[in-house]
Each structure stands twice: as C-alpha cells, then as structure tokens.
Structure 1
C-alpha cells in the first residue's frame, strides 16, 4: 500500500472471469428466452394438415423427457419408446452424443446433475425419479446403448415388422433395422455417420437421406426451437418438403418449414440463423440488462465501454 494505485493500470484487467453481459460470476452462460423469436415467425403462418407417407425424424432425447406411465424396467422403457415410434411407419430415431468437457456439457451441468446409476441389462429396475436419472450424462448414455441392444433383439421383431424404414442413431452411428422370421437385422448406414454432439445439427443430414430414399416429405419432431432456425437456413437445398412438429403442450404446432423459408426468402433465412446463433442459441451467452435493448445495441455499448479503458 506504500505505492499509489494506478487506476488506468487496474482497469486493464477484467473484474470477473467473463463480462457480466455474457455470463454469470461463476462462469455459466446467461440465458435468453427463445420463445419471442419463434412466436414472431409463426404468428401468421397457416397450420398444415399432417402429411401422410412422410419420413418421421425424432429427437430421441427430447422424447425421453416426455414419457409417462413408465414400466418397471429399462428394457420395457425401450420397448415403450419403440411402440411410440412404429406407429409412424417410417422413422429415424436419433440420440445425442455425450462428450466430456464440451461446450454443451456445461449447459447440461447448468440444468442439473443426477446420481449415476448402473444399467446391467434390460431387466434392471428403473430409478424411482426418472427425470433425475436423465439429469446424468452417463445414465443417458447407458440408456441409449440399451435402446440399441433391445431394438436389435428378437423381442422387438414384431414391432419392427410393422415399419417400412427404421433407422436408429446412437453415439453417432446410424443403423437400419429390419425384421423377418422373428429376427432383427441391423445394418450400419455409413452415410449417416456423424461426430456432431447433438441431434439438432444432424437433422439436416437425416432430411437429405430421406430424400435419397425417395420420400417427398419429412416431419421433424422436437420441442427445441434451435432446429427450426437450422432448417429454415437449409430448407432451400433439401429436395423434399420439410415439416417440423415443434413445441410442447398447448404451444405445440406443425409448421411447413419449406413454405415458410420460401415466404421469408433465402437472404432473410441466412441472416436469421446468424442472428439466432449470436444471441439466443443454447451454447451462446445472452445479453442481460434491465431495459429491453436489442443484443446488437448492447454489444456496441460494451465495445465502447471497453475501448474507453484501453
């Protein structure tokens, strides 16, 4: 304390790990409500009829969180999921990958963390609190692995026999499943291999594959708005009509993404995805403030503030 404090020197250093406009003091991302952007885009859209003969693409991890009246064992849960899917006739069921120390892992940690369980096999009794079970990455990884094991076993042959096309993607590897004479055959679809961590960013790949198989329409089921903005960007390059079954509860609705992308125009959709990733996407910090100011204006203000102390 014998030396005077040089404020100009002090202000050269950050006062927290990240700027408070971007994150919290403990290092987590600030979060933005995504709903207003979706409501703005869909406020005047026409609700189409549900398309027949379409490829149904399911965000598997989202479906896990909506299961009700759960049976007693994990193997029976896997069969319950299959029963929900085979009614769609042609399906792609995709689960997320779980990489340690990834950006998305931090987001999952923010949402909560459950106790790790050990799934020995299909007859393992499920945890009393299934949502807490799903809050642990290792648990979800084990469940996805068991899902593949059960769906490729003889107990699933009867359900799969009612499907036209059935593809299961687990840990980045996609397998085409078919049943005959009480047996299930699994064949890897090499063109669908992906190291993308989330199903969200693999949806476009699945849509292209559906077009290659000869489908004219595809329905993507997910509650996550991220997929809507990704599909709007890519819709003009996908050679089929893409629908998205988005939202939950009373806010759930079917949207013709291809038609919406045409109405908005390619330049608008390109810009929209960039703005969305920059402001409210899961792995991007929001811009917090007391007043309702646009993220762009807040960014400009922050840059001016930082420049004043350089």
Structure 2
C-alpha cells in the first residue's frame, strides 16, 4: 500500500477519491463495500445449493462451471428483470427512515433514558458501581480493580525482561495469576469445624510430645502447667476457628417468664400504649416485598400506621442501629454475613430503584441498612407521612445520632423536625429503644410496649423496669408463640436482687458479643444467682464502670468456681482446673475444664464492657471508651478478641532447652542445659553427657530412635537419678 502510488497510480487515486464503495440504488447513505457488492450480485446469482464444494468431483465439470459462472449469473439477473422482480429494492426511502423503524428507535431511546435515570450517572466520583446490579464492591475489590491496568503492564514488562531479553525463564512456562479480586470474587469461607478440631488436636499432640521427652529427667509441676491453657485458645470459651462459644440465649427468657401468676397477666397490648419497634429486626423479617425501594418505604409506613390505629396509640418509635467500624458486635454480624454467603453493598438513592433479589444478603450489610433508614426518613418526611398519618399521630425515626419526629397535628397540618432530647450516641437499638421508651413515658404515656424477639432486650427491660416511669410490655415470639409479657410485673415478682444481677449474668454467661462457657448454659447461672446472694452481688457489680476493678474480678472467679461445681466460696480457678483434671472418675474433655485465670480475666473484661454499655441505656451520651484493652485488641484497624496475654504453656516447656555439646560432660556454663539448671534430654546433641537418661548405653553412632527406646526402658520420672517428688501428685505426674 505504501508503494501503490508508484505501482498503480490509478488505483491509488481511486482509493483517495473514495471509490472503494459501490452504489446500487438511489437511496441516501446506501453505499456498500465493493467486496460486499460482489457477494450480493455476481456470487449470489451464480450460487448453487452447495456452492463449489461438493457439487461435483469431476475436474472438467468444475472448470466448465468456473468459465461459465458469469454468463449464468447474467442470465439469472435478466430473468428476474423480465419477471419484474427488482431484488435491489430501488425505493428511495432508507430503511432507517420508515415509520416502524423510527417508532422502535424512539422506544429504545426512552428505555435507555429510563435505565440511566434509575441507575444515575456512572461516571460521578465515588465508589465503583456495577452498572447492571448497582452493587458496590468491597474496598479490597475496588483497590484491585483500580490497579488492574498497572498490574497488567508490570506483568508484561516482567515477561519481556525475564523470558525474551534474558534467559531467566522459558517463554512457554506457565504464567502466574495475579489473583486480583473482582465483583465475582467468592465470599471468604470460614474454616470448617473438622479442620479446626484437627488443628487443635495437632497442637495438643506436639505439646504432649515435648512433655513426654521432658518428663524423662525433668520434673514437671502439673499445678503450674494447668495455670496455662496449653493451647492458643481457651477451649472452654473459644471454638477451634477462634470464634466465641455460643449458647442458647432464649433459654434465659423462657426461665424468667416462668413466674407464678404473671404469665397470664397480659394477653394483649393495652389501648393507648406507646409503641417502640426494633427497625432492623422488622425489616430483616420481611419476605413479601414490592419491586422498588419507594414502594417498600410506603409499605412499611402503612404497616406502622396500621399498628397505631389497631392499638389506638398516638406515638410509635422506629429505632434502628448504628454501625461503627470497631464494634464489639462485628463478630456476630460477620457470622450472619457468612451464613448468607457474604453481603452485597448497594446504594439506596431513588424511589424507582429496584430492590435486590436476595433481600437477606442485602440486610447483612450495615451500610445498606443505614442508607435504607435514611431513605425511609426522607421519603416519609417529604410526602408519604403527610398522606398516611392520621391527625394526632406521630412517628419517631432514628437516623444516625438524630431522631426525626413526623407528626400529623389535629388541625391537619404536618411537621417534620428533629427531637433534641433523643439525640444520642448509642450504637445498638437494644439500648436506644429504652431511651425512647423513657422519653414517651415522660411525655404523658402511661405504658410502653417494645416489639422485639431478642433476649437481650427482655433482660434490659427487667433490669431497667424500676427506672422507667410506667408499665413496660414486650411483644415477642412468632406465629402461635407470639405473646405479650408484662415486664414490670415479672420484675416485681423476681425482686430487685435478681433483676439487678441479670445484665451482668447475661453478659458473663454469653451473648452476641461475649463468648459462653462450653457446656454451661443459662439455667445453671440463673440458679446460682437466685440461690446465692454473694454470687448475685458479683454479677450485679459487672458493668458499674467500664474499668473493671480487682474486687469485681474476684467475684467473677468465685462465680466460675461455683458454675463448675466447686463448693463453698472458693475463687481459685487454677486450683479447680487442676482438681478437675486429676478427677479419675471422669475422662475430662479439655472443653469441660474452666478457663485458666488469665483467659478468665480477658473474658471478665469483655463481659464488664458489654454490661457497662447495657447499664447506660438511659443515658443519651455515655462516656464509652474504646474496646481496645478491654478484652479486645485493635490490629491493623480491625478489632480482634484477646483470648490470652500469658504464654500458652510454661517457659521451660515452650523453650525446650537443649544443648549440642561436642566435648565435655555438660558441666560448664557453655552448655545451655547446665546454664538453665536443667538436665539434658534425648533431644540434646551432646555425646558424653552424664546427666542424659541412659547415658551409659549411648555411643556416638547410636541413632535418635534407639536412644529414645533405651531411655524409655532405663529412665523414668521416679528413677534413682531424679530428685524425690514433692508429693504423690508429682510422683503420678
């Protein structure tokens, strides 16, 4: 093509003039390429049913067909003309100018406009958004997508440098994946329970191997050994994958309901009762939803107005959670997200925006729920509440730290304003609902009913009932088990001692954020609190302040000893571990032993922190410190549970001191064992040591397996060379 002006000037000029197309009709914008014209004219007229391939195997017949094809095509074209059939469609109207085509194009343009209007501007600054689903990827996915081009360019340069410029690798070697996350990146799966148990068993086997070798010549104090967890996790508090042990919280509610003459005290919500609803619990339970967020907003508001009318109430509080970054509730929220195969992030922006097909996954993301409540408040305040609320009715909606009051006045006017007395810094709706309940009671309501199925809310209601200026009810349960509980009557029957200890008891024996004791349910703890005033006082002391005092921890140790069957007022948790371990009547599972004192201290700090949050439910802005150092640790911006602060085993077990003395009898300070005042063991590399078990039978050529075999026969904990054990327990060890 570069030499075309010299080799074929006429062709070059024709191409420059645009003569590489052909016009077969008088239509505008109807030129087609020359090769396409040949296909549509000559080749079409000379075409046979099978083409050249397969119509004949006779070489002469094929040659005759090639020589006469153009004449046959001309005859075919002339026949069409004689018959009055114009296959070129000489109409002057272009097909894109027909009425049908213009109608269809107009419909397509309107559809595109509707989609763009619904999804918004995809080029506006902010998070990356999937244009089809409006899903927002996680921060790690966005980071990888932004860096994809740079990573690819670097990979190309590395390929050229290593495989083409130098002989570092063969050009045919397999390329390594960059492993960048995308929108379709699968949710991170939790480690299976079987794999977690295998890891725990492997750790125990390794520790046992060390103990077997050491026990040949070194005295091991079992009392000291059991002051440690002997593993990276306290198995009485943590599962093998590092998540907290869970318990059946609802058992505590069932036990507290079993109060004589109180269960039948309330059959329904009294008329005129103020209503307080856990917003997120209600929204998560929705199953039949309309297709758009605007319709969902209207449906929820109609349901709330229906509740006001049916109970003849004038006030309803719609209370939602906040979602902080380093929240102690993050572990429970992560487990919900894993249970629903990860969450999806989607901005809620427009009333006509379609809701996600998987509503449960959408509701596992805290940012989604925050956007949703904000969207509801905006829609209700703008027009929906004014149309649906009856005169004299008001709805309070929490959005962040603020609470909006939507009120339809008796004169028909509608107002939307912020209620300053309800601005608070509470994260959980569990505590914030009681602030709203107290506000409604102080504003003239004689009773309040809280809609919640959570045991946490029931426990808080019993604990705070004495501070609330009115009767408190709770609507709980589902379907046939749906019931109304008179919390005030139940609290009066239980008494102030038990009610005052419930918050500490519930936090200490396991809740959403705090681990439970493996195999120890709520029933045992409640029985101890009801029957022992000292233990009730120990649980009541939890949460008095965010900083836990030593006296409170002593009470926690006494409670744990009683929980695991100790009699009297013992508070020696480590001693109880040793006693239960040595109990020959039962084969003890490590999970059935109480945690060591160090693990229990971290657990008590976490329980005290949670109890302090619950006890400050009636304060608008409690002075809540960071959970860092309160049984949790913030690492790389992520809150993690601190299970242990001390070593998992004594130092002499972990260090496994051994020497490699080539000469001498290991009696100098150059010997690591002698320097640590420890006898040598079979894992030592010394050859002429007199302190190693079975040393008289060892030679320089003896293998490690033989030395272990000999030492097992000739040396034991109770050999003549060992010091006399301190007591029978040590001798048994």
Structures share fold, TM-score greater than 0.5: yes
- Are 2:284 and 1:59 aligned? no
Question: What's the counterpart of residue 46 of structure 1?
Answer: 264
CA distance in 1, matches of 2:419, 2:233: 43
Deviation of 1:252 after TM superposition, in Å, equals 2.1
Deviation of 1:236 after TM superposition, in Å, equals 1.1
Identify the match of residue 477 of structure 2 among 243, 247, 260. 247
- Are 2:242 and 1:27 aligned? yes
* Stretch deviating more after TM superposition (50-59 or 275-284): 275-284
CA separation of 1:171 and 1:291: change in aligned 2, threshold 3 A: closer
CA contact (8 A) 1:158 1:182 kept: no
Instruction: Mark the runs of 5 or more structure 2 residues left unpaired by the alignment.
Output: 1-209, 526-559, 566-570, 578-595, 599-648, 651-733
* Stretch deviating more after TM superposition (120-129 or 25-34): 25-34
Measured against aligned partners, the alpha-carbon deviations of 1:10-32 in whole angstroms (never above 9, x if no partner) come to: 98875555412112233322111
Question: What's the counterpart of residue 173 of structure 1?
Answer: 402
Deviation of 1:307 after TM superposition, in Å, equals 6.2
Question: What's the counterpart of residue 185 of structure 1?
Answer: 415
Instruction: Mark the runs of 5 or more structure 1 residues left unpaired by the alignment.
Output: none
CA contact (8 A) 1:17 1:25 kept: no
CA distance in 1, matches of 2:245, 2:572: 18
Question: What's the counterpart of residue 85 of structure 1?
Answer: 304
Superposed counterparts of 1:120-269, under 5 Å? 120-162=349-391, 164-179=393-408, 184-269=414-499
1 or 2, which has the higher strand percentage? 1
CA contact (8 A) 1:287 1:298 kept: no
CA separation of 1:81 and 1:184: change in aligned 2, threshold 3 A: same
* Stretch deviating more after TM superposition (15-24 or 194-203): 15-24
CA separation of 1:238 and 1:12: change in aligned 2, threshold 3 A: closer
- 3-state secondary structure, aligned to 1:138: helix
Measured against aligned partners, the alpha-carbon deviations of 1:277-306 in whole angstroms (never above 9, x if no partner) come to: 211321110111399994632497964433
Deviation of 1:123 after TM superposition, in Å, equals 1.5
CA distance in 2, matches of 1:10, 1:116: 48
Q: Please say which structure displays the higher CA radius of gyration.
A: 2
CA distance in 2, matches of 1:149, 1:163: 21
- 3-state secondary structure, aligned to 1:152: helix
CA distance in 1, matches of 2:473, 2:225: 54
Measured against aligned partners, the alpha-carbon deviations of 1:101-159 in whole angstroms (never above 9, x if no partner) come to: 21101210011231212222222100011111111222112111111111111133111
CA distance in 1, matches of 2:476, 2:378: 29
* Stretch deviating more after TM superposition (286-295 or 256-265): 286-295
CA separation of 1:241 and 1:14: change in aligned 2, threshold 3 A: same
Question: What's the counterpart of residue 53 of structure 2?
Answer: none
CA distance in 1, matches of 2:318, 2:519: 40
RMSD: 2.9
CA distance in 2, matches of 1:56, 1:259: 18
- 3-state secondary structure, aligned to 2:360: helix
- 3-state secondary structure, aligned to 2:255: helix
Deviation of 1:52 after TM superposition, in Å, equals 0.5
Question: What's the counterpart of residue 277 of structure 1?
Answer: 507
- 3-state secondary structure, aligned to 2:334: helix
Relative to the length of structure 2, the TM-score reads 0.39
Question: What's the counterpart of residue 68 of structure 1?
Answer: 287
CA contact (8 A) 1:86 1:163 kept: no
- Of structures 1 and 2, the one scoring higher in RCO (CA 8 A, sep 6+) is 1
CA distance in 1, matches of 2:497, 2:521: 30
Relative to the length of structure 1, the TM-score reads 0.88
CA distance in 2, matches of 1:291, 1:78: 41
